A and B are shown apart, each in its own frame.
Chain A
Amino acid sequence: MTDLVDALDTRGTVSSALRAVGSFKLLRESWVGMIGTGIIGFWVVIALLAPLIAPFDPNTPLQPFAKPLTEYATGDGTFWLGTDHLGRDILSRVIWGSRTVLFYAPLATASAYFVGILMGLAAGYYRGRIDEFLSFLANVILSFPVLVLYILVITTIGSSGINIIIAITFASAPGIMRIVRGLVLDLRNRDYVAAAQTRGESSWFIMLVEILPNARGPLIVDSCLRLGYVVITIGVLGFLGLGLPPPAPDWGGMINEARSIALAFPHMTVIPCIAISTLVLGFNLLADGLREISLRD
């Protein structure tokens, strides 16, 4: 019953999604998806080239409270987007911040998928007691408003990169598990599964080699959406002061640090907000494009 939303989210049936997704040729059919890919590509390039294109070191205090386009007093360059209250160049921090987020977001999402997929495969394939237990556990965790869960976990175990990954995994794996479980319940009665069972393959071999690749379509759509949401989560945690410890340039943290002075220096908060929003938009557009294609067939 509670799978209703998941069902709507992944309304495209498994088989049609399978045919569509994962092929970049088809992606060209969706201009929405193209734009999404473009935005993500932009940030990935920025992140990769950060050491080359960032005009200053992101953590060195240079000249506090410079407005955008101010020349550095020493004549060593321009603060295109201004500096923050400590005199750190905002453009450089946004550029390096893209590394932070594009490192932690995929890592956390992957970790959540790893746990969620294993749980979902086990629940959907074995069914019975295991399924009941795992589904109940997932329901319990999903009954927490997600930010409440993050706040509880982070204030208890402390805020650090690894703890953020742990918290995101903890909070997201149950949702992934439910989707995977639903897909597995559908796929486990297919002929090729029966064939593998007759061959005497082990359960985990069947789950990982036979079932999982065939379930990848909806999962790819979901993972794009989830990546976007994880980017938001990392931002929110930074914004609430529970994010990555300084001096790591972190977009959410930048907003949090500058928020009390946003009035006189709106660039300090607006720029990282734009950065986060565009990256999330990229993931959401891509997800929408992929879904659109999967529905079309």
Chain B
Amino acid sequence: MSRKSSKSMHPYVPELKELLRNGKFSRRDFLSTATRLGVSLSAAYAMAGGVLGLCASTVARAAAPKAGGILRCSMNVKEMTDPATYDWSEKGNLARHMTEPLVRINKDNLAEPYLAETWEASEDLKTWTFKLRKGVKWSNGDDFIADDVVFNFERWLDPATGSSNQGRFSSMTRQIDTGKKDKEGKPVMSTVAAEGAIEKIDDHTVRFHLNRADISLPEALGDYPALIVHRRFSDEGGDLSKNPVGTGPFTLTKYSVGEVAEYRRRTDHPWWGGDVYLDGIVYIDHGDDPGPTIAAFASGQIDCNYRTSVEQVPSLKTIPNLVTYETVTAQTGVARMKITEAPFDNKLVRKAIQACMDHTKLLELAYQNFGAPGEDHHVSPIHPEYFKLPPLTQDYALAKKLLADAGYANGLKVRIDCVANPTWEQTAVKVIAEMCRPAGIEVVINIMPGGTYWDRWMTTPFGFTSWTHRALGVQVLNLAYRSGVAWNETSYSNPEFDRLLDEAGAILDPRERSKVMKKLETILQDDTIIIQPFWRSEFLTATNKVRNMYCQVASESHFNKVWLG
């Protein structure tokens, strides 16, 4: 099956190569599909290189790297106490240079072996075996072993930890009755680890027993809360900033929340991943506002930033010696409508708003055309199982008719909540509002500071929510649109949709899965619970001194192979 590091090649692989050769598949699609079919990542890169006439090693490296130097990066220095509870990619980046994941999502949106060397799944996709890398040393001198992984999993699944990983690995949990009753007398349930879900086979092998098929387990292990901490993390204080023990190539030397975080390369033991060129990394906090970062670039106070917002791209182009890296991601924002609240409980209203949208124009006006137009179903063209539906078109006559049918012939006034930062969200909402106006729908924009906004993102009738990158389409749909799940912000509930989602989640072959995705996408698009303006590209900026830099799809700082020229 696809996730095995199998020796035998999948019969579809030659056909894939053919598709790549005649240009029907991009390199990225090829890599994605081939790895899903069981080809190892390095083999897939080699195949792609062979087909396209590039040598794999030249893809990775152009000039001989130079060792030395400190990379200065602009990023919010947030708290970094416990990776299991992280909720921002900045926090993940602060920990990433010390603690590492089992699986890393690389620049091509592919799951790449990290602390786990290989993994394989049973036929029914319910038993997954991970082989751990040998020779990895913690910075306190201990060896990295299976006990570390078991400790992390048990901790993630413990409700007392409060980790979002509990939802990410929900196939390893079960519900128990706490014995307490809530106000209405219903029993209070609690989610705990399922018995026997985590099994240590030997010092370098762990096996997970899932209670349902889950194809996204490796990708879930690549999310930032799944960074692996030492097995005595809790006993030794449970605060990474105070006790920075990790397997990564760097160690924390200075940390001042909201101001600065400094790292130096570890000298006690060579890093398992080979050469590391930087002597150190410094994250500098320039506040919530993007303005000072530009000023810092202009006066040479930083070498790179963690993320460049789209409005800054044209501006940064005018500073000499800066390079802006772009990557198309499955990051997006949705103007989502809560279908239990008037007037959005009326499907005609929702469809009327949809009919006002010109998604191509939205991308152009609100995101300078960096990315891909949205299709109101939250499955991205870069997701392996994506199915292309017929494009949506702007139709004001239809919008007016739908509005009249819904009983708003004289126009409709709605209010949308939007967070102030990052500003592209406001911009997208402003353009959506302008597009609604000709149909007689007045969209009043309520911009709120982060704190206020996050109090009500789940409950507001109409709000704009940003969604981060996820490697598979089914992951997003499971998180946001399955009935009753924690982040179901639209209150969408459709048994047929849930059933199809279960079905899609049990199909490994992305081409097969996309047939079910077609149905799922169609249902979502037709029910119109979200207006999704675009899939956005992410950017980061670095000076031309910084080599081997790229923009990772989830804004992860991958600096282990970066060097300064």
Q: Do A and B come from one complex?
A: yes
Is the CB of B191 closer than 8 A to any CB of chain A?
A: no
Tell me the minimal C-beta distance from A281 to chain B in angstroms.
Answer: 25
Set of chain A residues within 8 Å of B312, measured between Cβ atoms: 260-261
Set of chain A residues within 8 Å of B317, measured between Cβ atoms: 264
CB-CB contacts below 8 Å: B313-348 with A: 314-319
Stretch at the interface among A89-97, A188-196, A210-218, A239-247: A239-247
Choice from B290, B294, B365, B444 contacting A86 with Cβ under 8 Å = B365
Set of chain B residues within 8 Å of A260, measured between Cβ atoms: 289-291, 293-294, 309, 311-312, 315, 423
Set of chain A residues within 8 Å of B451, measured between Cβ atoms: 155
Choice from A60, A158, A242, A262 contacting B291 with Cβ under 8 Å = A262
The 8 A CB mask of A137-158 against B (1 = contact, 0 = none) is: 0000000000000000001001
The interface on chain A, measured as residues whose beta carbon lies within 8 A of the other chain's beta carbons, has a size of: 24
A247–B430 CB distance below 8 A? yes
Contact flag A158-B368 (CB < 8 Å), given A60-B434, A247-B430, A261-B294: no
Could you count the A-B residue pairs with CB atoms below 8 Å apart for me: how many are there? 73
Choice from A86, A158, A246, A259 contacting B445 with Cβ under 8 Å = A246
B447–A261 CB distance below 8 A? no
Bin the interface of chain B by size. 35 or more
Is the CB of B433 closer than 8 A to any CB of chain A?
A: yes
Is the CB of A59 closer than 8 A to any CB of chain B?
A: yes
B452–A158 CB distance below 8 A? yes
Most buried by A among B298, B430, B444: B430
The 8 A CB mask of B427-454 against A (1 = contact, 0 = none) is: 1001101100000000011111101100
Q: In the complex, A86→B434 CA distance in Å?
A: 12
Smallest Cβ-Cβ distance to A247: which chain B residue:
B430
Most buried by A among B290, B311, B426, B445: B311
Choice from A60, A61, A158, A264 contacting B315 with Cβ under 8 Å = A264
CB-CB contacts below 8 Å: A188-247 with B: 241-242, 245-247
Set of chain A residues within 8 Å of B314, measured between Cβ atoms: 65, 261, 264-265
Set of chain A residues within 8 Å of B506, measured between Cβ atoms: none
B289–A261 CB distance below 8 A? no
- B contact face: mostly helix, strand, loop, or mixed: helix
A263–B430 CB distance below 8 A? no
Contact flag A64-B368 (CB < 8 Å), given A260-B290, A263-B315, A264-B314: yes
Is the CB of B420 closer than 8 A to any CB of chain A?
A: yes
Q: In the complex, A166→B318 CA distance in Å?
A: 42
Q: In the complex, A257→B309 CA distance in Å?
A: 13
B423–A257 CB distance below 8 A? yes
Contact flag A263-B294 (CB < 8 Å), given A87-B365, A245-B445, A246-B445: yes
Set of chain A residues within 8 Å of B295, measured between Cβ atoms: 263
Set of chain A residues within 8 Å of B316, measured between Cβ atoms: 263-264
Smallest Cβ-Cβ distance to B448: which chain A residue:
A158
Set of chain B residues within 8 Å of A263, measured between Cβ atoms: 294-295, 298, 315-316, 318-319
Q: In the complex, A159→B318 CA distance in Å?
A: 34
- What are 18 residue pairs bridging A and B, where the CB atoms are less than 8 Å apart in the complex? A61-B434, A85-B427, A86-B365, A86-B430, A86-B431, A87-B365, A155-B449, A155-B451, A241-B420, A241-B449, A245-B444, A246-B430, A259-B289, A260-B294, A260-B315, A263-B316, A264-B314, A264-B318
Partner-B contacts on A (CB < 8 A): 59-61, 64-65, 85-87, 155, 158-159, 241-242, 245-247, 257, 259-265
Partner-A contacts on B (CB < 8 A): 289-291, 293-295, 298, 309, 311-312, 314-319, 365-366, 368, 420-421, 423, 426-427, 430-431, 433-434, 444-449, 451-452
Please list the 7 inter-chain residue pairs (A to B) with the smallest Cβ-Cβ separation, ordered nearest first: A261-B315, A264-B315, A260-B290, A264-B318, A259-B291, A260-B291, A263-B315
Known: A61-B365, A263-B298, A265-B314. 19 other contacts (CB 8 A): A59-B434, A64-B368, A155-B449, A159-B447, A241-B421, A242-B449, A245-B445, A245-B446, A245-B447, A246-B426, A246-B430, A247-B433, A259-B291, A260-B290, A260-B293, A260-B294, A260-B312, A262-B315, A263-B315
